Amino acid sequence: MGTVEDGRSPLTGRRRRRWFAETFQYRAIRGRGEGPARVFLGSGNPGPGRRAGTVRDSAGVAIVENPAVGVWRPGEAWRVVEELRIGVAEGEPEYQFGNIVGIDADSDGRIYVLDQEAQQIRVFDAQGTLLRTIGRAGSGPGEPSRGDTVLVPDLFLQRVDWFAAGGEESGSFPLPMAEGIPSGWGMTPDGRVVHQLLRFPFPGQPQSEFSTLAPIIARGTGGSSETLAVLRAGGTIRVQGGAMRIRMFEPEPVWDVAADGSLLTAMNTDYSIEVRRPGGTLVQVIRKPFERAPLTAEDTEAFLELFRDTWKRAGIPPEGIMAAERSLSFADRYPALARLRSGPGNTIWVRRVKTAAMAKEPGAGFDMQDPGAPRWDVFDADGRYLGVVEFPANFAFMTFDGDVVYGVLRDEDDVQYVARLRVARDRAAA
C-alpha cells in the first residue's frame, strides 16, 4: 500500500523509482523510471547451435514456439541465494511482522516494508537496521512535496494518497470505484499507476450480469487515465443468490508492466504470453507446451483441509468456517500458470501453479490469493525458454530489483521475515 519515488536525476546514473504496494491483491511493484538499464544477469542468448524452438512471423507478430525443455545446460541454470533476513520471532516489536503485503527498495538500498496488520511502512537500511516508520492507511490529503514519495491506494475513500518518505501527508489523486474495483498493480516508466478493473455486482446491487472484460488502466496523478489493453475477465468470483462465490483455479488474466513500458499479458489457463509495446501494438506471442493436470477429489479435500486450518488459526468461529466452505468450489483442472513477471534484463518469468501435493510439503502451505509454486519458468528477451529457477518452498515472492528478489520467508511457526535473495548463475567452465 505505498510507492516510493527516488527523486534523483538520471544524470547521476541512478534510476528514478516509485515504490508501490497495496492490500487488495497483496503484491508490490515498482515503476521503472528514467536512467540506465537494469543489471542483466547474463546473456539470454542460448549460444551457437542452441536456438531452441521456432520463431515465425504472423502479420508482423513474432510467434515464438518453445519446446518443453529449456536451453540451459547443467551448471548454467540460475539459482537464488539468501543474503539478508529481517525479523525476529521474539524481541524488539519493530522487528516483528504481522502480515507483510509489500516490500521494495530504493536506489540506496533502503528497504520499505508494508505491514498490513501494523498499518505502517517500516524503512530499513541495506543491512536490515530499522531507520524509521512512516504512514498509515486512509490518511487525508496534504500539500505536495518533493523527493521520495509513498503512494497509498485507499479503496474506501476512492483515492491514492501521497506521503513524503518521512511520513508527512502530501496530497492525493482520485481512484473512481464506479469504473470497477482496482486489482493488481503496476507502474509505467513515466510514473503512471497501472491496475486491472474488476467489474461485478456486489450482493444487494441492482446489476445482474458480470462484465466479460477486464480493462488494464494507466492512471496519472492528475486523474487522467488510459486503457492499455482489454483482457477477458476472470471467473474466480461470482454472485449467486445474492451471495458471493469463489471458484478456485478458474480462468483469470495475469499481467505485468516491463521496464520498457511493454505490457505482458496471458490467461492463466493457456501457456501463451502476449507482449504489447507502449501504445498497445501486439508484437510477440510466446508459447510453451503444457497439459493442464486434473484436480482430483483428493486434491480438493487437501485444499479444504489447509483452508480450514488457516481460518481456524485466524480466529474464525466454526459457523464462519462452514459458511466460507459453502461459498468455495474448484475447477476441474489446474491452470497452466499462476503469475507473470518481467524480470532482470527483459527476461520474462512465469510462475507455475502449486498443486495440492506441493501445498502439503513441509513449510509450503497455500495462499488463496497467491497460488504459485516455488518453480518459475524463465524466458529471455527474445521469448526463448531458458529453464527453471526454484525458490525456497516457504518464500513468498514480492518483487525484483535487478538480480535481487525481495519477499517473505515463513518459519515452522508461521513467523514472517523480510528476505532479500540474489539470483546467481553458475556456468560450466569453458
Mean pLDDT of 72-94: 93
CA 381 to CA 40: how far, in whole Å? 11
C-alpha dist (Å) from residue 172 to 1, 25, 49: 14, 21, 54
pLDDT of residue 292: 95
pLDDT of residue 237: 82
Q: Which residue has the cell 509450503?
A: 364
pLDDT of residue 427: 52
Strand positions, DSSP E, 87-219:
100-105, 111-115, 120-124, 130-134, 149-154, 159-164, 169-174, 181-187, 193-198, 213-219
pLDDT of residue 37: 27
Tell me the pLDDT tens digit for each residue of 326-384. Answer: 999 999 999 999 999 999 888 999 999 999 988 877 767 777 667 888 999 999 999 99
For residue 381, the 8-state DSSP code is T
pLDDT confidence bin for 1, thresholds 50/70/90 = very low
CB 330 within 8 A of CB 303: yes
What's the number of CA atoms in the CB half-sphere (13 Å) around residue 328? 16
Residue % of the chain over a pLDDT of 70: 77
Between residues 408 and 177, the one the model is more confident about = 408
Q: Are strands 111-115 and 120-124 parallel, antiparallel or unpaired?
A: antiparallel
- Mean of all residue pLDDT scores within the chain: 79
Tell me the pLDDT tens digit for each residue of 283-312. Answer: 999 999 999 999 999 999 999 998 998 888
All three cell numbers of 237, joined, read: 468470483
All three cell numbers of 23, joined, read: 492490500
Is a pLDDT exceeding 90 seen at residue 419?
Answer: yes
All three cell numbers of 266, joined, read: 496471458
Between residues 120 and 268, the one the model is more confident about = 268
Residue % of the chain over a pLDDT of 90: 43
Is a pLDDT exceeding 70 seen at residue 386?
Answer: yes
CA 133 to CA 114: how far, in whole Å? 10
Which uninterrupted H or E stretch holds 41? none
pLDDT of residue 245: 87
Is a pLDDT exceeding 70 seen at residue 84?
Answer: yes
User: First CA to last CA across the chain, in angstroms?
Assistant: 47
pLDDT of residue 268: 95
Task: State the chain's maximal CA–CA distance in angstroms.
Answer: 68
For the whole model, what pTM was predicted? 0.81
pLDDT of residue 428: 39
CB 221 within 8 A of CB 237: no
Least confident of 123-132, 219-228, 322-331, 385-394: 219-228
CB 187 within 8 A of CB 31: yes
SS3 of residue 417 by DSSP: strand
Is a pLDDT exceeding 70 seen at residue 29?
Answer: no
Q: How many CB atoms lie within 10 A of CB 147?
A: 13
Mean pLDDT of 188-198: 87
Tell me which amino acid residue 404 is. V
Q: How many CB atoms lie within 10 A of CB 56?
A: 9
All three cell numbers of 387, joined, read: 529453464
Tell me the pLDDT tens digit for each residue of 122-175. Answer: 999 999 999 988 755 443 333 323 345 666 777 778 887 776 666 667 778 787
Q: Where are the domains of the chain?
A: 10-42+51-295+331-425
pLDDT confidence bin for 3, thresholds 50/70/90 = very low
| Superfamily (CATH H level) for 10-42+51-295+331-425 | TolB, C-terminal domain (2.120.10.30)
Strand order in the sheet with 100-105: 100-105, 111-115, 120-124, 130-134
For residue 39, the 8-state DSSP code is P
- Sequence length of the chain is 430
Is a pLDDT exceeding 60 seen at residue 33?
Answer: no
Instruction: Collect all residues with Cβ–Cβ distance below 8 Å to 7 and sequence separation of at least 6.
Output: 16, 146, 147, 148, 149
Tell me the pLDDT tens digit for each residue of 405-418. Answer: 999 999 888 899 99
Instruction: Collect all residues with Cβ–Cβ distance below 8 Å to 191 and sequence separation of at least 6.
Output: 5, 18, 31, 33, 220, 221
Tell me which amino acid residue 374 is. P
